[in-house]
Amino acid sequence: MKTFKNKVALITGGGSGIGQATALAFAKEGARVVVADISAPDARATVEMIKGAGGEAIFVKTDVSKAKDVRALVHKTVEAYGRLDCAHNNAGVNGALAPISDYPVKEWDKVIAVNLTGVWLCMKYEISRMIQQGSGSIVNTSSIGGVTGSANISAYIASKFGVVGLTKTAALECAAKGVRINAVCPGWVYTSMTVREAETAKMDPEEYRKMAAGMVPMKRMGEPEDIAEAVLWLCSEKASYVNGHMMVVDGAMTAGLSVSE
């Protein structure tokens, strides 16, 4: 029996990287999937991949920083599939690389709007539907940047710490109402976001990948599927008593100081 048979899963940022891997994994486990993304070609590609493998999925064009888009996303999900069981609020952007004194205000506003306000808006409309149903599970994508600081990416770090705070608050608000809310904190995962980071650092993506892998105690970057596995587990019945948790999936990157080999 597939874990998510008869369930409906919504994934924001489902057109690429971690969100795409999660969408494919949910579909493989029997869920009907709603792929939400600001990029139509990428999200449509995810839907085609799911359908090509015999699954069911729709695309809803969504800018998660806009309340009317997110409200419509949840409405269209219920209209298409009748319910909403699982949500992975994952859409995110990395923003500029600069110290706080030089950080452009416009970039700050954009990163906070997508990464933080976006997660809050998604939860606002998803929770309302899930409480009505009496059940549901949400996983928000934070980052290891949500548990530790990092120079030159202040907006990103603030947004991801914020996601952890929102997750814990929402978990408390919903704990007695049948809705669980957790966060996943990925380490360094190879996606198009990493390729953009390489471009910003003026490095070849493969060189960047090698450099990043060298900094991870497990000596490899994460793959999107590593994160998808954690998201599916958190959404599953196996995690039925896990609530308000931030699950770090980072190859031991934040475990502590690495001893020299």
Check if the beta carbon of residue 136 is closer than 8 Å to that of residue 86.
yes
Shortest distance, position 73 Cβ to ligand NAD, whole Å: 9
In whole angstroms, how far apart are CA 182 and each of 38, 77, 220?
Answer: 24, 21, 25
CB 129 within 8 A of CB 84: yes
Please check whether residue 189 is in contact with residue 228, taking contact to mean a CB–CB distance below 8 angstroms.
no
Taking the complex as a whole, how short is the minimal distance between the CB of residue 237 and ligand NAD, in angstroms? 25
Stretch that binds ligand NAD, among 121-129, 130-138, 181-189, 199-207 (CB under 6 A): 181-189
Figure out which of the listed residues 8, 10, 11, 13 binds ligand NAD, where binding follows CB under 6 A.
Answer: 13
Residues 106-145 that bind ligand NAD (CB under 6 A): 114, 141, 143
List the interface residues with ligand NAD, window 232-261 (CB under 6 A). Answer: none
CA pair distance 139, 247, nearest whole angstrom = 10
Active-site option among 125, 156, 190, 208? 156
The CA distance from 174 to 41, in Å, is 35
Active site (annotated) includes residue 190 = no
Binding ligand NAD by CB under 6 A: which of 22, 77, 90, 117? Answer: 90
Q: How far is the CB of 134 from ligand NAD (least distance, A)?
A: 28
Category of 122 on φ-ψ map: left (φ > 0), alpha (ψ -120 to 50) or beta? alpha
Residues in contact with ligand NAD by CB under 6 A are 12-13, 15-19, 37-39, 42, 62-65, 90-93, 114, 141, 143, 186, 188-189, 191-194
Active-site positions read 156
